[in-house]
Amino acid sequence: MLSIDILRKEIEQEIGNLGFKRAPLGLYEPIEYSMSLGGKRLRPVMCLAACSLFTDDYAKAMPAALAIEMFHNFTLLHDDVMDNADMRRNEPTVRAKWNDNTAILSGDEMLIEAYKLLSMTDTPAFSLVLSTFSDTATEVCEGQQYDMEFEERDDVRLDEYMEMIRLKTAVLLAGAIKIGALIGGANDADIKSLYDYSIDLGLAFQLQDDLLDTFGDEKTFGKAIGGDIMEGKKTYLLISALQKASAEQRAELEQWLTAKDAPRADKVAAVRSLYESTGAKEATEKKMEELYAKAMNTLKLMEISAEGKRFFADFGDRLLKRKR
Amino acid sequence: MLSIDILRKEIEQEIGNLGFKRAPLGLYEPIEYSMSLGGKRLRPVMCLAACSLFTDDYAKAMPAALAIEMFHNFTLLHDDVMDNADMRRNEPTVRAKWNDNTAILSGDEMLIEAYKLLSMTDTPAFSLVLSTFSDTATEVCEGQQYDMEFEERDDVRLDEYMEMIRLKTAVLLAGAIKIGALIGGANDADIKSLYDYSIDLGLAFQLQDDLLDTFGDEKTFGKAIGGDIMEGKKTYLLISALQKASAEQRAELEQWLTAKDAPRADKVAAVRSLYESTGAKEATEKKMEELYAKAMNTLKLMEISAEGKRFFADFGDRLLKRKR
């Protein structure tokens, strides 16, 4: 079985070959820019890896892998418009480098390009590949919708938060892996197991991201710590804290959250401390561990090669920054 | 062969059955709203009609016809964001009734829904149907890009304008008709003829729309006359006028076009008069007539039923508001 790094290099090369140097440049240059910014290429890598579990000819999944990466980048262009975001991965977003209209229209074209790439897939399972892709795309839009709605709500429950991050984050990784497996010719049981594994791992990854946003190290996290706290984002941490807080803790927490003019460092430190004293941090870590363990157990029970299992277990460890 | 009105009723009924009363309502209600606003449903009607030229089972093309209408409405949602448009067909746009973010995200979902509908098509030509749809969608985005770029340019040529309206307007009608014919089992020659017919007719229709925007009757046109003049839109009329104008006429035209504080009625009347005296109106009418005649000639040479020819000729006449 190949390594994550080799698969990633193959994907980078294929992305470089996509060729968006065509007219009208105003439409295609932002696509080339967005696709060239890099990132970990997790989803296309895992799409190829899932395919390779069932066939040596894993390159059959390359167009679909690229389609998923294209779709992922399309969502970034439009999310950045909706969030007025100027920076991503330390580079200006398309809306910042060009403008909102460009990000909307080039994003639209990226969604169409994603379908064009997907359509190049040569497989008897094409109809299922196509419906999996579209159903996943719809779920991602639903997740973004819930995420926006939660900003306006004060009564978001933990189960609602988990469903939102399932839709917004986990299903695209799971869809990528399912599509790779479908193209590889996997049976229904293996597809279901891989899908469940990916959803649990995706959820654990998002909870880890929430924890790092609040408790992480600025240098390794790559952006300023405390962003979620400053935005009052209803994360697992915040919802748990409000649930577990004593009357006094709750009052203190709500005071800090609504304090518009408090210095950032003070606010972040105070809320962080409340996340610890209420047990919210511990609850989030526990939930993340449970999901990780569940994903690994699903993998363990699968009837695939030991090598394949090791690859997917390593991926989980890498995603969740664990040493073995 | 069925009538346009019967086909339209069948399409309206199917649109009513699409069922977007599902969670999250914030994502799906704008889709239901947009699809229920009506309009002439030209493209899906002609998709079914093209199919019915080659098979009695024209209902096979219904999912594709709905996909094309869904795609068309997706473009309206996003175009209205890009143009800051508040009204369409005398109703508030999605961005006006909700907000920009809703129009972006619900629009994205509509593009995905369009692909889902298209995927329901049961035909041996599915791969060609899918690529025709995606290629058409790309061309529509390219057309929108050129349209936006032309706003910033003062040197747009007539051939560039014709290419822009081909992409932005004509290809979607032509794509709808081609897809219907593909599903109906048409041969390559018939598909090419129908495509050429639709492109020419679509171009003629857009030139007519330009003429009506400037010389039409407010009551029958449905919106205020002179919008293109007030926006300084580089239409066939304006580009021709600048080409044909004497030095004096050109100076007068440019003065009016840059006069920001001139009363609307004066400005529209003055530019209209220059469109007549320069011969730009006549040139636009001539071009429109040529395209109409070319479309009708392509149709005449086709080897399809007399009834089929009559239907498509009637459609052309209706589109271009001609009495027979």
Q: Which of A101, A116, A145 lies nearest to residue B27, judging by beta carbons?
A: A145
pLDDT at B224: 83
B138·A109 Cβ contact <8 A? yes
Q: Model confidence over A276-290: pLDDT tens digits?
A: 999 999 999 999 999
The sign of the dihedral angle between the CA atoms of A118, A119, A123, A127 is positive
Closest CA to A80 of A92, A65, A90, A69: A92
pLDDT at B323: 58
Confidence of residue A221 (pLDDT cuts 50, 70, 90): confident
Q: Which residues contact A78 (CB under 8 A, 6 or more apart)?
A: A103, A104, A107, B104, B105, B108
CB < 8 Å to A107, chain B: 108
Q: Which of A104, A130, A138 lies nearest to residue B104, judging by beta carbons?
A: A104
The sign of the dihedral angle between the CA atoms of B223, B295, B199, B123 is positive
Q: Does A222 score more than 90 pLDDT?
A: no
| CA-only gyration radius of chain B, Å | 20
Confidence of residue A260 (pLDDT cuts 50, 70, 90): confident
β partners of residue A91 = A88
Q: What percent of chain B has pLDDT over 90?
A: 93
Distance from CA of A100 to the nearest CA of B (A): 8
CA dist A221 and B312 (Å) reads 62
Q: What is the mean pLDDT of residues B32-38?
A: 95
Q: Does A53 score more than 60 pLDDT?
A: yes
Confidence of residue A323 (pLDDT cuts 50, 70, 90): low
Q: What is the mean pLDDT of residues A216-240?
A: 90
Q: Does A237 score more than 70 pLDDT?
A: yes
pLDDT at B221: 75
pLDDT at B103: 98
CB < 8 Å to A137, chain B: 112
Q: Cβ of B137 under 8 Å from any chain A Cβ?
A: yes
Q: Cβ of B148 under 8 Å from any chain A Cβ?
A: yes
Q: Does B1 score more than 70 pLDDT?
A: no
Q: Does B154 score more than 80 pLDDT?
A: yes
CA dist A201 and A319 (Å) reads 8
- Average pLDDT score, chain A: 96
Answer with the residue of higher pLDDT: B69 or B261: B69
Q: Cβ of A18 under 8 Å from any chain B Cβ?
A: no
Q: What percent of chain B has pLDDT over 70?
A: 99
Distance from CA of A134 to the nearest CA of B (A): 6
Contact, B200 vs B298, CB < 8 A?
yes
CB < 8 Å to B82, chain A: 101, 104-105
Distance from CA of B105 to the nearest CA of A (A): 7
Q: Which of B82, B109, B116 lies nearest to residue A105, judging by beta carbons?
A: B82
Q: Cβ of B24 under 8 Å from any chain A Cβ?
A: yes
pTM of the predicted protein model? 0.97
pLDDT at A2: 84
Give the end-to-end CA distance of chain B in Å, rounded to a whole number.
19
Q: Does A322 score more than 80 pLDDT?
A: no
Q: How many residue contacts between A and B have a Cβ separation below 8 Å?
A: 90
CA dist A168 and A234 (Å) reads 14
CA dist A181 and A117 (Å) reads 17
Q: Model confidence over B195-237: pLDDT tens digits?
A: 999 999 999 999 999 999 999 988 777 778 999 999 999 999 9
CB < 8 Å to A127, chain B: 119
Q: Cβ of A124 under 8 Å from any chain B Cβ?
A: no
Q: Model confidence over A95-127: pLDDT tens digits?
A: 999 999 999 999 999 999 999 999 999 999 999
Cα B300 to Cα A15, B295, B307, B308: the distances in Å are 47, 9, 12, 11
Interface confidence, given as ipTM, is 0.97
Q: Does A182 score more than 80 pLDDT?
A: yes
CA dist A119 and B131 (Å) reads 8
Q: A 225-244 residues with CB below 8 A of B?
A: none
CA dist A205 and A210 (Å) reads 9
Q: Which residues contact A81 (CB under 8 A, 6 or more apart)?
A: A95, A100, A103, A104, A107, B101, B104
A116·B108 Cβ contact <8 A? no
Contact, A106 vs A94, CB < 8 A?
yes
Cα angle A182, A184, A187; round to 5:
60
Distance from CA of B285 to the nearest CA of A (A): 29
Q: Which residue of chain B has the CA closest to A144?
A: B105
B112·A148 Cβ contact <8 A? no
Q: A 60-89 residues with CB below 8 A of B?
A: 78, 81-82
Q: Which residue of chain B has the CA closest to A167?
A: B24
Q: Tell me which residue has tokens 């190049």.
A: A120
Q: Tell me which residue has tokens 């290629």.
A: B135
Q: Does A223 score more than 80 pLDDT?
A: no
Q: Does B119 score more than 80 pLDDT?
A: yes
Q: Does A139 score more than 70 pLDDT?
A: yes
A134·B119 Cβ contact <8 A? yes
B148·A101 Cβ contact <8 A? yes
β partners of residue B87 = B92
Q: Does A270 score more than 60 pLDDT?
A: yes
Q: Tell me which residue has tokens 């999996």.
A: A132
CB < 8 Å to B105, chain A: 78, 82, 141, 144-145, 148
Q: What is the mean pLDDT of residues B8-22?
A: 96
Closest CA to A47 of A74, A11, A14, A12: A11
Confidence of residue B290 (pLDDT cuts 50, 70, 90): very high
Q: Cβ of A259 under 8 Å from any chain B Cβ?
A: no
Contact, B154 vs B20, CB < 8 A?
no
Q: Cβ of A137 under 8 Å from any chain B Cβ?
A: yes
Cα A13 to Cα A10, A17, A61, A224: the distances in Å are 5, 6, 15, 32
Q: What is the mean pLDDT of residues B7-35?
A: 97
Q: Does B260 score more than 90 pLDDT?
A: no
Distance from CA of B100 to the nearest CA of A (A): 8
Read off the tokens for B272: 């209209």
Q: Cβ of B19 under 8 Å from any chain A Cβ?
A: no
